């Protein structure tokens, strides 16, 4: 069979089997809808500064900046009983010393470090999957 005929068959099959996919998000849950310098938008409402975000709550995170992070800043998240903690490190990806998250990892809680924009996007995906996720966000 000629390459042109194979290509035509491929395109006709693709058209027959294509479908639209839509993301299903939990109604009434927090959803990151944007971000910018020093803020994020959650359900289209602007929040400035560093935050702790769960599917049901948004609260200030009492950390001044990346350099001032302590074990206490992460161990306080244990009370919320998350399955996963996403740490948004600001405009760029920065890793902190593993001892800072020891309380979380010792409790079997996953911790993922990424820049704040990636943390916002990942939070939305995990929240839509009904995961117990927390985003600990440093402002961009």
The domains found in the chain, sorted by start residue, are 49-137 (3.40.1230.10)
Tens-digit pLDDT profile for residues 90-109? 999 999 999 999 999 999 99
Contact indicator for 136, 57 with CB cutoff of 8 Å: no
Contact indicator for 93, 113 with CB cutoff of 8 Å: yes
Q: How sure is the predictor about 16, in pLDDT bands with cuts at 50, 70 and 90?
A: very low
When mean pLDDT is compared across 25-34, 43-52, 53-62, the lowest value belongs to 25-34
CA–CA dist 73, 7 (Å, integer)? 57
pTM of the model: 0.80
Tens-digit pLDDT profile for residues 69-83? 999 999 999 999 999
Residue among 112, 7, 127, 137 nearest 56 (CA): 127
Looking at per-residue pLDDT, the higher value among 28 and 64 belongs to 64
């Amino acid at each position: 069979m000629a390459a042109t005929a194979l290509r035509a068959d491929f395109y006709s099959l693709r058209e027959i089997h294509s479908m639209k996919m839509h993301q299903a998000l939990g109604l009434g849950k927090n959803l990151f809808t944007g971000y910018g310098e020093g803020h994020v938008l959650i359900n289209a409402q602007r929040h400035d500064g560093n935050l702790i975000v769960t599917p049901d709550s948004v609260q200030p995170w009492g950390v001044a900046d990346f350099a001032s992070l302590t074990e206490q800043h992460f161990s306080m998240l244990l009370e919320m009983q998350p399955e996963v903690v996403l740490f948004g490190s600001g405009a760029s990806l920065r890793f902190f010393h593993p001892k800072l998250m020891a309380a979380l990892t010792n409790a079997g809680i996953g911790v993922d470090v990424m820049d704040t924009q990636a943390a916002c996007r990942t939070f939305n995906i995990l929240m839509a999957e009904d995961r117990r996720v927390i985003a600990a966000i440093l402002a961009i």
